[in-house]
Amino acid sequence: MKYSKAESVFPEELLRIIQQYVQGELVYIPKPKEAHRKWGENTRSKSIVTARNAEIKSLYRGGVSMSELSDRYFLSFESIKKIIYTKN
């Protein structure tokens, strides 16, 4: 998170209004809801994990044990179980 001086960001009138509520403190101003992005939207991470999970499910249906999948993908047994039993 980047620090910015209020004087250089806000118009003078708005700064005076804000100072009625808070002075000399750090205030976090969040992004608007529509600017939030879901995990993996900016990178390929989500698609990589989705493909990996589909592969794990396919291998399990093909007879590979959960323990073997856990070792092969370096995931805990519980993580493999969650992947396999998740509907999507």
DSSP annotation of 32 = P
Domain ranges in the chain are 6-36+43-85
Question: d(Cα 4, Cα 20) in Å, to the nearest integer?
Answer: 19
- What single string gives the DSSP state of each residue in 39-77? TTSSSSHHHHHHHHHHHHHHHHHTT--HHHHHHHHT--H
For the chain, the average pLDDT equals 92
Q: Assess whether pLDDT exceeds 90 at residue 1.
A: no
Q: Assess whether pLDDT exceeds 90 at residue 88.
A: no
pTM exceeding the 0.95 threshold for the entire prediction:
no
Of residues 38, 63, 54, 46, the one with CA closest to residue 86 = 54
pLDDT at 44: 86
